[in-house]
């Protein structure tokens, strides 16, 4: 994964190198489900005249940083498809981790509560501090949680790679389209 980051940054720089024009940022989307964690990410808002993607502060539910995508004035249909795919992937990722973190916290509280009751202890000690379990007992929970969610994580990883390959493919197509358009403009200028 770390090896992909420099390549991805290089592709992003290449894609941006051929863009020009006005500035607009893609709106955040968030269809919320009742049984899911809230999908509304941070209220961070970049400057209106920004001509770059902006990364906001971490979302309090998913712990991921939302990206506000830049929309050029002369965005081609292929560039729009790429941006929408990136936005959709970000929304999907935010929602998955918000739900996963919510599930984790609920199950962790249940586990701690059940273990403390089995020991005959209260949730709060006499001093008012919240009672905790030792690292070995919590290791049982973590192992259990990961085993229980193995299939879900496997599907998430599969979909994550599919989406990233699709995004990388579209980034290549956009870069080629921009190069082709630049070469086409230079030819027209030399002919005239």
pLDDT in tens, the chain (192 residues): 444 455 555 444 444 433 333 334 344 333 333 344 554 555 667 777 778 888 888 989 998 998 888 888 888 999 999 999 999 999 999 999 999 999 999 999 999 888 888 887 777 667 777 778 888 889 999 999 999 999 999 999 999 999 999 999 999 999 999 999 888 876 666 665
In 3D space, the residue among 81, 92, 85, 17 whose CA is nearest the CA of residue 51 turns out to be 17
Distance CA 31, CA 149 (A): 24
- Residue 63 sits at φ, ψ, to 5 deg, of 65, 15
Report which secondary-structure segment, H or E, holds 68: strand 67-68
Distance CA 8, CA 35 (A): 35
- The pTM of the full predicted model, rounded to 2 decimals, is 0.68
């Amino acid at each position: 994964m770390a090896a992909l980051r420099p390549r991805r940054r290089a592709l992003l720089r290449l894609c941006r190198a051929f863009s020009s024009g006005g500035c607009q940022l893609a709106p955040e989307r968030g269809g919320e489900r009742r049984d899911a964690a809230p999908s509304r990410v941070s209220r961070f808002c970049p400057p209106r005249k920004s001509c770059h993607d902006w990364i906001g502060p971490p979302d309090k539910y998913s712990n991921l940083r939302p990206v506000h995508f830049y929309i050029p004035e002369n965005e081609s249909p292929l560039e729009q498809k790429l941006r929408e795919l990136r936005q959709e992937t970000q929304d999907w990722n935010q929602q998955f981790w918000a739900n996963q973190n919510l599930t984790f916290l609920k199950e962790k509280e249940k586990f701690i509560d059940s273990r403390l009751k089995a020991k005959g202890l209260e949730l709060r000690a006499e001093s008012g501090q919240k009672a905790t379990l030792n690292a070995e007992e919590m290791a049982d929970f973590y192992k259990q949680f990961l085993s229980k969610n193995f299939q879900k994580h496997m599907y998430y990883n599969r979909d994550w790679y599919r989406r990233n390959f699709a995004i990388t493919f579209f980034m290549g197509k956009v870069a080629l389209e921009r190069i082709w358009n630049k070469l086409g403009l230079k030819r027209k200028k030399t002919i005239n």
